[in-house]
Every structure is written in C-alpha cells, then in structure tokens.
Structure 1
Amino acid sequence: MQKLKKLVILCGGTGGHFFPGLSIGRIFKAESGEVILITGRHKVSYAKEFSPKYNIPIYEVESSSISASPLKLINFIIKTSFGFFQSWKILVKHKPDAVLAMGSYTSIPSSLAAIVLRIPLFLHDGNSVIGKANCFLSKWAKILMSAFPVVNQNLDISKILVTGMPLRPELADTKIKDKQEAIALFNKIFIRNFDIKKITLLIFGGSLGAKKINTSVPEALASLNLTANSLQVVHLTGRDYAESTSERYKQLQFDHLILEKYDDMSLLYKMADIVICRSGGSTVAELHYFDKNSILVPYPLAAENHQYFNALFLQMKNPDTLIIEDKDCSVETLAKAISNLLTKTPRLQTPKTNPAVSVLSVIEEKLI
C-alpha cells in the first residue's frame, strides 16, 4: 500500500461541496499530509477567507454548468477548456499522489486533467442521489464514495462505498459533554436563563434561511398553547429574516433566542432535544452524528429531489425522524409533528468517528 503524502481536493463552488472537502483537507494536514484545494470561480471567494485561515493553498479555476442551449453549451466548452489547462498547470506543479473530487460541475475540468495525467482519481458525493458530474466521472475513478446509501438506478451500487459525510473537526471533536454543559455555556455566552429540564427546540434553514420554516414554525408553536415551563427555542433565521421572525415570537410565552446565524453548531446540537430544518447532506450527517430527533422539510428544488432521499436515510436510522414535504408544510402539519416529538425521549449520542477519517483511509487503501 502506497503512503498518501500529497492530496488535491476538488471542492466545487458551493458550501455543500466545499466544506466537506475542506474538512478532509484540514484533517489530512493535521496528520502531516500536504493538501491543495481547487474550487470554481464564484461570487463568494472561499480562497480569500479560508486559505490564510487554515494555511492551505486554494486555487480557483474556470468552470461552467452544461446546458442544451447552444450558446450555453459553447460557454461550457470554452470555460471547461480554460479550467482544464489551469488545472493541468496546478497538478503538474504540485504532483499529488491522488485527486479527490467532491462533486459539482466545477470539479470536471480538474478531474479531466487528473485523468489525462494518470493521477489516481477518487470521488465523493454528499447526497443519496449521486450528482451528474460524479456519475460522468465514475467510469475513470478508483472508487466512488458516498455520504448515504445511493438510490440512483443507473449506477452499479456494488462499486459505491458508503463512507459518510465528512464533518468539520471542531464539530465532530467538540469538548462539550452533554446538554447540561451546553446549556450552561449557552447561558454564559448569550446571557440567558435556559433550563436543562425544559425541552430545547433548535430551528434553522441554512445560511440564507428558509422562509417556509421561519414563518410556519412560530405559528405552529403558538397554536399548541405551550406553557413557559415546557419549552425553550433557538431559531437561526438566516440572512434577512431575523427581524420578521422575532416579531412572530413575541406572542409566545417561552424563552427563545433568535439569531441570523451561529457558527458553533456543536453547542446548539448538544443542547437541542428536537431539531427542525432542511435536509441537505451535511445537515443530515450532523443530525445522525449527534443522534437528534428531528422534523425535516426537504428543499423542494434540490436537484433530483436529493434532500428527500437524504431525509429517508435519517428516518431509517432513527424512527423519530419526521419528514414533511415543503408543499405539505402547513401550520397544522408542523404543530402535529412538534406535538408528536414532544412526547418522545431524546436520544443519547453514541460515539462515532468523523467520516473524513474513513475517506482518507479508503484513498490510501486503494492507492496503487
């Protein structure tokens, strides 16, 4: 077995591809490996923020999504060609032992360069439905890894290895032991008086928020006529929704904290008994890692409905996972689901290994 010393990770252009790749890179670097990240060019530059923060080289190359439109097809060919030659120079310069692609069309130019240069290519997909880019590249890859069991009908499932979704090291390795410790730290940080004996509800919809969740959940809670002693809520609204969501909570008696976002999700997961959220790959992986009862509202416009299939995976692992499709996410349906989970016993977290470690182990094992 060849020792993996230098790894290039293709992290796509969105957070769902970038952060799992960054997590793998950080862990590999902590183990004295040399890591380089390649992303697409987007309005938000991950390179500017995270390259200096973690001392990891991050390159941006050209890429484009494919389309049936003749003009967009030409744009795809031109940008992919530019990205291919940019990636070629990067790979020739750094001479990695392997290339790991995390999915997305932005990984195609660099993956093709790796294939032509005969650098072993590995793939990872963060959803139950393998994306088109990874499906296309899988015929040249050493192995295709996935976060969850795969539901694609056009792939040979026997050639796909379920490794789980890589988690941020600070999330997987949190030093917070239990709900009591989390509540105490939360109260100190936010000058609150949350009570360990009360059921804690955590609500979020991603960095941009989810309007349906932000509007429906407070109304659902109001309809249940819960007392101040029964519940406490932390609601992350996402950008632009904090003020309007705060207004909806003013009619409610129980303690609550409304924030646009909060980075230390391990603290919030540790104190939460019930979580209401979307079902993106990273979110589902985190809920599984922390063993949380949850109400999932899959994003209806997710490619090939992959969020719904992600949610089904979690429901298979934990029967106290309730799934409400976006079109059915009414105040009444949410109220019924919340009432249901309020009667359930919160699950105890079982020890687990960060799947990022498993991904690195598979690459080294398959490296020839």
Structure 2
Amino acid sequence: MSDARPILLAAGGTGGHVFPAEALARTLIARGHAVRLATDPRGRAFGDRLPEVPVDPVRSATVAPGLLGKLKAATLLGLGYLDASGVLRRHRPAAVVGFGGYPSAPTVLAASRAGIPVLLHEQNALLGRVNRWLAGRAAAIATGFPLQSAGQESRRVEVTGNPVRPAIAAKADAPYPAPTEDGRLTLLVLGGSQGARVFSELIPAAVALLPDGLRNRLSIVQQCRPEDIEACRGRYAAIGADATLSTFFDDVPERLAAAQLVICRSGASTAAELATIGRPAILVPYPFAMDDHQTANARAIAASGGGWLMPQSDLTPEVLASRLEHLYTRPSVLVEAAGAARAAAHPDAADRLADLVLALAGQAAGLRASAATGA
C-alpha cells in the first residue's frame, strides 16, 4: 500500500461479526498496517481483546417491527451516518471493510459516498439483509461459503472463508480421536452463545433410547441455558448417563478437539470452527434465524460431507437416537466426515481477506497518485 492510511473495519457486537473482524485486524497489524474499528456500543468489547485497535463509536440500531420501531432505527442510523462521516474525515482510511449487521451500515454507506473502496465480508451462505442492501456499493464481496444466491454480485464475490479466533486456529492440527471398538465415545453439544433449550430436552431423551452398551460408553459435554441446566442434569442422572453440563465453556477449542461428534446450530462462526479443527457434526439450524441462513450453512456443510443436516422441526428423540447409534457403531463414517470437514476449511482465511482488502486499498492509492500527477 502506498500510503499510511488505516484500514477501517465496521462490525457489530455479535461474535459472528466480531471474530472475523478481530482476526483480520490481527493479520493486518502483523503486516504493519494501521487498523481502526467503527462500531456501536455492543462492539466496544473488541477493544479489550485488541487494545492496539482504536475504536470509533458510531450509532446504529436494529430495525424493529412497527412504525415506531422503524422510525427510531432510521433516526439512529441517520445519526450513525453522521458519526461515520466524521470518522472518515478525521482518519481518511484507505479502505473500509464491513462485516454485516446494522452496526456496519452507516460506515459502509458513508464510505461508499465518499469514494473510499468498500469490501464486504459475508460469513453465511446467504447474503445477510444489510449486506444485500449494501452489495451494490462494494468493490468486492468476500464470503465464508460459496453464496447459494449471489445474484448480480457473482462477478465480484471471492470465497476467502471465515477467519476464526486464534485459540481455534491453534487446534487446527489436532488429530481426530477416532472411536474404538470398546472405548469411550464423546459427544459435544453446543447451542450458540446461550445454549439451545431444545437440546436440553431432546438429547437426554435420545440418549435414553440408545442400547445400554452404547449409552454406558458415552461421555456427553453439553452447554445449557441457565434456566434449563438443572432439569437437563436430572434427565441425564435418571438414565445414568455420564454428562458434564455448563452454561458456558471457556475452553471450547479444547472441547472441540476432544470431540468425536458434535451436535450444534449452524451459525457461520460455529461452521468455521468445526471445519478448522475438522470435527463431524449433526447440524440443527436455529429455525428463526434471519432468512433461514443457518439452514443454508448446514446444507453447504452437508454437501461437503462434513456433517448431517437435521432440521429441528423433523427431529424427535427416536430419529436422533437412530442417527447417533448409526454413527457411533460405524467409526469409519465419522472418520470420513472429520476428514471432509477439515478439507472444507480455509485456515488461511484471515490472510486471504487481508490480501483482498490491501489490493483494493492499493488500487485506490494508485488512482489517487495518478490523479495527483495528472497521469
């Protein structure tokens, strides 16, 4: 890049947006580039994990139902646009990277109108609502999956993968612990950042239906909602199952590395972590996700051979127990799926994303230099 202008990242406060932004920031800093973050109050914690990245506050709001909700959101997004315009004037970034979600919208919109090159990063297999709205203003779109409906953006889309947090990347080479004929069988159950209530009811019921010899070999590690954990613990105790339950695990990378099978939702960050470490999963998409994007993610994983899509609406204890018995009694199926999951990973996602944004910034710098010399 021919000048020292910073790269400005625009991201919201959810992990799905913040983790890739944080990974990109670390990569750019390691290459000697200055980075800033524009976000709303939900994203301020980013600065705690990466204090070398200055945080610029930009107001935003999720569009809520009803006329009053829409008016309030429009007002806050308009104020955010003014905030973002001020940030751009003060810091003159070489490029802006938007990670989706309403908190990224004011900054991306202001950058496009100021003639600053914009790169969008879409973590899911479908463009999110905000990225769809802003796609026409982006010089390029980087994606975690091949987009299932790229539309007019198809010629500007590059699959870079989803960058993962460093603790996950550190486990990328952990060998898969293949099941043995009479050894312990591990099952990791994750429900997103707050657990999934349906798992606390469904999975103990399914485990209860397994043959005694299989159930007695099973070690379950499960995340539960605080209000569900005691009831779930009681269900496992009633059938004598070995279950470790918690409302939060701060060692998910280690838990993933030790797992032979995972049951989880199919958010973009979860999908990227499964692929990076190479663990097969039964994927139960959150049925109320925006535009049903988790089902699109799960379809992509299933198509790669790295997991099995099981929609929540069709899932019963009997169906799940049958799938668990099938997988645990056929270790070769799990080993093959683990390999397929790892083959679908993009361990260099942060580097590929950094290459793309720096290329855009360099092109813009070249255009500025040409304009200054009259070439």
Q: TM-score, normalised by structure 1?
A: 0.87
Aligned to 1:192: none
Q: Give 1:321's aligned residue.
A: 307
Kindly report which structure 2 residues correspond to 1:78-93, keeping only aligned pairs within 5 A, or say none.
Answer: 78-93=75-90
Cα distance, 1:29 vs. partner?
2.3
Distance 1:243 1:284 in 2: 28
Amino acid at match of 1:51: G
1:3-38 deviations in Å (ceiling 9; x for gaps): 786211111232221222122212322333221112
Q: Deviations over 1:74-121 (max 9, x none)?
A: 323321221011112222222221110001122111111111222111
Distance 1:157 1:310 in 2: 18
**CA, structure 1 residues 46+263, in 2 after alignment: closer, same or farther (shift >3 Å)?**
farther
Aligned partner of 2:62 in structure 1 is 65
Counterpart in the other structure of 1:23: 23
Cα distance in 2 for partners of 1:314, 1:243 equals 33
Residue in 1 aligned with 2:184? 198
Classify the secondary structure of the residue corresponding to 1:118: coil
CA–CA separation in structure 1 for the residues paired with 2:140 and 2:72:
30
Q: Aligned residues, how many? A: 349
- The one-letter amino acid of 1:173's match is A
Q: CA deviation at 1:365?
A: 2.4
Paired residue type of 1:317:
S
Residues 50 and 240 (structure 1 numbering): CA distance in 2 closer, same or farther, change over 3 Å? farther
Letter of the 2:49 partner, please give it.
K
What are the ranges of 5 or more consecutive residues in structure 2 without an aligned counterpart?
A: 364-375
Match of 1:266 among 230, 247, 253: 253
| Matched AA of 2:314 | D
The yes-or-no answer on 1:75 pairing with 2:72 is yes
1:225-249 Cα shifts (integer Å, max 9, x gaps): 3436522111112443322221111
Partner of 2:218: 231
Q: Which amino acid aligns with 2:47?
A: S
C-alpha deviation, 1:179, in angstroms: 5.7
1:304 to 283, 287, 291: 291
Q: Residues 88-167 of structure 1: matches in 2 within 5 Å?
A: 88-152=85-149, 154-167=151-164
| TM-aligned CA distance change 1:290 to 1:325, over 3 Å | same
Matched, 1:14 2:14: yes
The alignment yields a C-alpha RMSD, in angstroms, of: 2.5
SS at 2:243's partner residue?
strand
Corresponding position of 2:324: 338
Pick from 349, 353, 361 the counterpart of residue 347 of structure 2: 353
Over the matched positions of the two proteins, sequence identity in percent amounts to 29
SS, match of residue 7 in structure 2: strand
State the distance in 2 between where 1:70 and 1:166 align. 37
Aligned positions of 1:220-259 closer than 5 A:
220-227=206-213, 230-259=217-246
> In 1, are the aligned partners of 2:172 and 2:277 still within 8 Å (CA)?
no
Structure 1 contact 203–276 (Cα < 8 Å) conserved: yes
The answer as to whether partners of 1:99 and 1:119 remain within 8 angstroms in 2 is: yes
Q: Which runs of 5+ in 1 are unaligned?
A: 181-195
Contact 1:236 1:260 in 2 (8 A): yes
Pairing 1:287–2:281 present = no
Deviations 1:105-150 (A, max 9, x none): 2211111111122211100011111012111211121101111111
Q: Distance in 2 between matches of 1:312 and 1:25?
A: 30
Equivalent residue, structure 2, for 1:366: 360
What displacement does 1:317 show? 1.2
Summarize the Cα distance change of 1:200–1:4 in structure 2 as closer, same or farther, 3 Å threshold: farther
Q: Write out per-residue CA displacement over residues 155-186 of structure 1, whole angstroms, 9 at most, x where no aligned residue.
A: 44232111111101221123874467xxxxxx
User: Cα 1:11–1:33, aligned 2, differ >3 Å: closer, same or farther?
Assistant: same
Q: Is the 8 A contact 2:95 2:360 kept in 1?
A: no
Q: 1:224 to 1:125 in 2, by over 3 A?
A: same
**CA shift digits 1:305-351 (9 cap, x unpaired):** 11011001101111x62211111121111111211221234335568
**Which amino acid in structure 2 is aligned with residue 21 of structure 1?**
A
SS for the counterpart of 1:250 is: helix
SS at match of 1:144: strand
**Equivalent-residue separation in structure 1 for 2:134 and 2:7 (angstroms):** 18
User: What letter matches 1:65 in structure 2?
Assistant: T
